[in-house]
Amino acid sequence: MPVSTYDDIAEWYRERYGVEPVMDDPFFPAVQDLIGDVAGLRLCDLGCGEGRVSRHLAAAGACVTGVDLSGRLLAMAARREEREPRGVSYVRDDAQQLTAFRDAVFDGVVCHMALMDIPELAPTVRAVARVLKPNGWFAFSILHPCYQTRPSGQVTAPDGSLLRTVGEYFTEGFWRSDERPGPPGRVGAYHRTLATYVNTLTGAGLGVERLGEPRVAPGPLVRTIWQEVPAVLVARCRKVS
């Protein structure tokens, strides 16, 4: 099984992004709007990290399995589960295969801000489709592929307004920027075009039902420019085959 680059930044990541309750996360409410009521559902939190989304889903009445490649983040999640039991199970597995799970076991899969961290999109999406029950759903959030590329940034126009600059949109693959304060600056990310995301999803039998581009207020983790263009894209898909 591959090693997660997040093992090297686990403590930093928890301190910077471990916002709880997760509904205080600037982008998760848009995901919650897509998934709705989860009471009684069996869910997979894919790329669960230290488990904040898993705990939220379990508190809402779901039976949750958190999956991540980072052993250090999973250890944090497991220790929290020992202190504050929510009934969440945590499994170390590669999202590109999900070999720990048989077919058609989950009503839904949630992947909050992790899909762009996974090297290979197509096998990951196929694995998600495989573990979903018929008519199951897949909800995810990612760095917005149209506005977050390696050379993207912002400039101030002569009138004082902020403008987003974007380049190399059609250059897919791994990127890292020393100018980025978050994970893209620490461990990098994988850029794909919007068309690649949609075509890969539909090719795996996951029909796109809804998209969202949340506009969020500036804060400690959100720059002002994200009131002008979306930082994040959220989507819900349905297993159709």
Q: What is the pLDDT along the chain (241 residues), one digit of tens a residue?
A: 778 999 999 998 898 888 899 999 999 999 999 999 999 999 999 999 999 999 999 999 999 999 999 999 999 999 999 999 999 999 999 999 999 999 999 999 999 999 999 999 999 999 999 999 999 999 999 999 999 999 998 898 898 888 999 999 999 999 998 877 788 888 999 999 999 999 999 999 999 999 999 988 776 656 688 888 999 999 999 999 6
- As beta bridge partners, residue 232 has 143
Give the integer Cα–Cα distance in Å for 148 and 139. Answer: 20
Give the integer Cα–Cα distance in Å for 147 and 2. Answer: 29
C-alpha pair distances (Å), 21 with each of 18, 57, 92, 148: 9, 11, 24, 26
Domain membership of residue 75 as a residue range: 5-239
Q: What CATH number is given to the structural domain containing 16?
A: 3.40.50.150
| 133 touches 105 (CB < 8 A) | yes
| 206 touches 200 (CB < 8 A) | no
What is the predicted pLDDT for the residue at 227? Answer: 85
Q: Is 205 helix (H, G, I), strand (E, B) or coil?
A: coil
- The phi, psi pair for 73, rounded to 5°, reads -65, -40
What is the predicted pLDDT for the residue at 157? Answer: 86
Give the integer Cα–Cα distance in Å for 175 and 101. Answer: 31
What is the predicted pLDDT for the residue at 222? Answer: 63
What is the predicted pLDDT for the residue at 154? Answer: 87
Q: How many domains does the chain have?
A: 1
Beta strands in the chain (DSSP E): 42-46, 63-68, 89-92, 106-112, 132-143, 153-156, 162-165, 173-175, 189-191, 206-212, 232-239
What is the predicted pLDDT for the residue at 74? Answer: 97
| 107 touches 42 (CB < 8 A) | yes
What is the predicted pLDDT for the residue at 225? Answer: 83
| 96 touches 123 (CB < 8 A) | yes
